[in-house]
């Protein structure tokens, strides 16, 4: 545990830089899907479902369905981009490309490499959050300037989901096995964390279950900020995610060390 902290250093940024260089080289490919994604969602839900579901209750007033799901979609993008970067993408670099092995023959330690990957995953969350924010701004769905807080939040909570992803990367035998965390963890969160409907419409027991899902905390706080109803509970919710980020980061560092150094 102490050795993990001792071996993690600013050199992680070198790994981050490597990934950023690759990202820049193919930025067009990297940029377009995250822009199209929210637009497609907004069109589908706005034009389609939005016609059926007129208003949704939120904090004792009614808002449009599009306004309701917009912050949820931002939260989902933050989760997905962080999680998928440190699962599929990191696994490809580690397992197929041997990029980690190459870096480990330089002054960087395995901890530097893994932490750098997590930082990069969080950065992907930040990019996704930023793109979402811009698109939503043009659709007039968020309250500004308060919503700018979503940017630092997407990086910080990106750390949560990226470090969770890294824990799975440390244990999967092959890339197909990521289907398990995706279908048992990511998809249920996408569906049951209050992105598409208020949690209060669920039975009480299901609401309790929902509050065990990390995405619920993110959806709730991003929605409060995005709709301009800033309150203290946001801090508590973010604190939960930050603590989770710390735990998962330490856990993934020690698990990856076991995997790679044997």
Partner 1 sequence: MNNNQEMVRANGLLKKFHNFTAVNKINFSVHKQECFGFLGPNGAGKTTTVRMIYCFLEPSSGELIVLGKNVLHNPRGIKSCIGVCPQENNLDPDLPVWDNLRVFARYFDIVGKEAEIRCEELLHFVGLYAKKNSNVEELSGGMKRRLIIARSLLNKPDLLIMDEPTTGLDPQGKHQVWETIMQLKDQGTTFILTTHYMDEAAHLCDRIVIMDKGEIIMEGKPRELVEKNIGTNVLEIYSANKEIENYIKSKNLNYEKTKTHYYIYIKGGEKELAEISNKFGSEISTLRMANLEDVFLKSTGRELRE
Q: Whose Cβ is closer to partner 1: residue 21's or residue 176's?
A: 21
- Give how far the C-alpha of residue 243 lies from the chain's centroid of Cα atoms, to the nearest Å: 15
**Residue 207 has which token pair?**
């609401």
Q: Whose Cβ is closer to partner 1: residue 22's or residue 63's?
A: 22
- Can you give the binding site for partner 1, defined by CB under 8 A? 11, 14, 17-18, 21-22, 25, 97-99, 101-109, 261-262
Q: Whose Cβ is closer to partner 1: residue 101's or residue 233's?
A: 101
Least gap, CB of 256 to partner 1 (angstroms): 14
Reported residue count of the chain is: 262
- Give how far the C-alpha of residue 121 lies from the chain's centroid of Cα atoms, to the nearest Å: 8
Which among 109, 90, 254, 105 is positioned nearest to 161, based on CA atoms? 90
Distance CA 229, CA 226 (A): 8
Least gap, CB of 19 to partner 1 (angstroms): 9
Least gap, CB of 14 to partner 1 (angstroms): 5
Q: Whose Cβ is closer to partner 1: residue 98's or residue 137's?
A: 98
Least gap, CB of 90 to partner 1 (angstroms): 13
Q: Whose Cβ is closer to partner 1: residue 61's or residue 262's?
A: 262
Asked if residues 192 and 210 have their Cβ atoms less than 8 Å apart, the reply is yes
Least gap, CB of 37 to partner 1 (angstroms): 23
DSSP alpha helices (H): ranges in the chain? 2-7, 12-25, 27-43, 50-52, 65-84, 90-91, 99-104, 110-138, 150-171, 179-181, 187-192, 204-210, 214-226, 233-261
């Amino acid at each position: 545990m102490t050795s993990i902290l001792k071996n993690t250093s600013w050199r992680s940024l070198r790994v981050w830089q490597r990934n950023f260089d690759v990202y820049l080289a193919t930025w067009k490919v990297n940029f377009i899907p995250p822009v199209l994604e929210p637009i497609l969602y907004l069109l589908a839900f706005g034009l389609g479902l939005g016609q059926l579901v007129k208003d949704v209750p939120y904090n004792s007033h009614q808002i449009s369905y599009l306004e309701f799901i917009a912050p949820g979609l931002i939260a989902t993008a933050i989760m997905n981009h962080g999680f998928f970067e440190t699962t599929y993408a990191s696994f490809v670099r580690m397992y197929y490309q041997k990029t980690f092995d190459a870096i480990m023959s330089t002054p960087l330690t395995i901890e530097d490499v893994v932490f750098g990957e997590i930082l990069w995953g969080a950065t992907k969350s930040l990019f996704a959050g930023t793109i979402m924010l811009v698109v939503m701004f043009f659709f007039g769905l968020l309250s500004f300037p308060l919503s700018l807080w979503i940017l630092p939040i997407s990086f910080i909570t990106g750390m949560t989901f990226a470090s969770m992803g890294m824990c799975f990367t440390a244990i999967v035998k092959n890339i197909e096995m990521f289907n398990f965390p995706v279908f048992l963890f990511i998809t249920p969160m996408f569906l049951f964390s209050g992105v598409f409907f208020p949690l209060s419409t669920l039975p009480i027991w299901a609401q309790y279950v929902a509050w065990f899902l990390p995405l619920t905390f993110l959806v709730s706080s991003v929605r409060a900020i995005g709709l301009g109803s800033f309150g203290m509970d946001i801090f508590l919710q973010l604190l939960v995610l930050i603590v989770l980020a710390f735990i998962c980061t330490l856990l993934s560092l020690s698990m990856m060390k076991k995997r790679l150094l044997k």
